[in-house]
Amino acid sequence: MLCCSETQQNGYNLIVKYRRTKAPGSTFFFTVVTFDRRKIFTNEQTVALLRRAIVVVQARRPFKVEAAVILPDHFHMIWRLPEGEDDYAARWRLIKSYFTHRWPGACDYPTTPSRQSKGERAVWQRRYWEHLIRDEADWRRHVDYIHYNPVKHGLARAPGAWQYSSFHTFVKQGHYSSDWGAGEEVDVAIEVGGE
Ligand code: NI
């Protein structure tokens, strides 16, 4: 069983409390990976640049980031797009482009002739994983997946120990205890492209 009932252990009894505020529009889960798994997001500067790219693009093409975790070589996010819109691909193109053109490390890495001929720099994997969130339970599973991800990847001992995560906001809002996922494995058994 995947989901969250009040009888389950491991902090899930808290999780039933959180619900998305009802708003129209589609919600998506994304996984974006760096080119060749370059460890790009290892410092404040690159994480801040990614955040700035998102804010800049949001001003032009609105969407809301509902949950996010940024790891050295990939990140996961849940977005909600306004009603009647589903063009996340254009938003991702703008975000990736903004970042690539402003990140000093974009040029100092070998790329492939095919990418060079297209003017692509060695920053992003071309493909990314997207999943349309089906319902409340699916949303919660993906939110948990995001927040547990640094532990799953062996980068942190607990979700609360990872800096670049919306987990801290969710804790402040009372949706998790601050020690959720610490010391006990959280099995969020969803298929998200192996990331
Ligand atoms: Ni991951």
CATH number, domain with residue 32? 3.30.70.1290
32: CA distance to ligand 1 center in Å? 9
Each of the 195 residues of the chain gets a pLDDT tens digit; together they read 222 233 333 444 344 445 555 556 799 999 999 999 999 999 999 999 999 999 999 999 999 999 999 999 999 999 999 998 989 999 999 999 999 999 988 887 777 788 777 777 889 998 899 999 999 999 999 999 999 999 999 999 999 999 999 999 999 999 999 999 998 888 777 776 668
Q: How many domains does the chain have?
A: 1
Q: Looking at residue 135, what is its pLDDT?
A: 92
Q: Looking at residue 3, what is its pLDDT?
A: 28
In a domain, residue 157? The reply is no
151: CA distance to ligand 1 center in Å? 9
In a domain, residue 189? The reply is no
71: CA distance to ligand 1 center in Å? 7
86: CA distance to ligand 1 center in Å? 23
Put the strands of the sheet holding 64-70 in their side by side order: 64-70, 74-80, 27-33, 129-132
In a domain, residue 44? The reply is yes
In a domain, residue 113? The reply is yes
76: CA distance to ligand 1 center in Å? 7
Distance CA 58, CA 186 (A): 32
In a domain, residue 3? The reply is no
Which runs of consecutive H residues, i.e. helices, occur in 103-191?
Answer: 113-117, 136-152, 167-172
| CB atoms near residue 15 (< 10 Å) | 22
Query: Known catalytic residue: 176?
Result: no
Q: Looking at residue 110, what is its pLDDT?
A: 78
Distance CA 14, CA 175 (A): 6
Catalytic residue among 12, 145, 164, 176: 164
Q: Looking at residue 24, what is its pLDDT?
A: 61
In a domain, residue 4? The reply is no
Q: Looking at residue 143, what is its pLDDT?
A: 96
Show the domain range for 91.
23-135
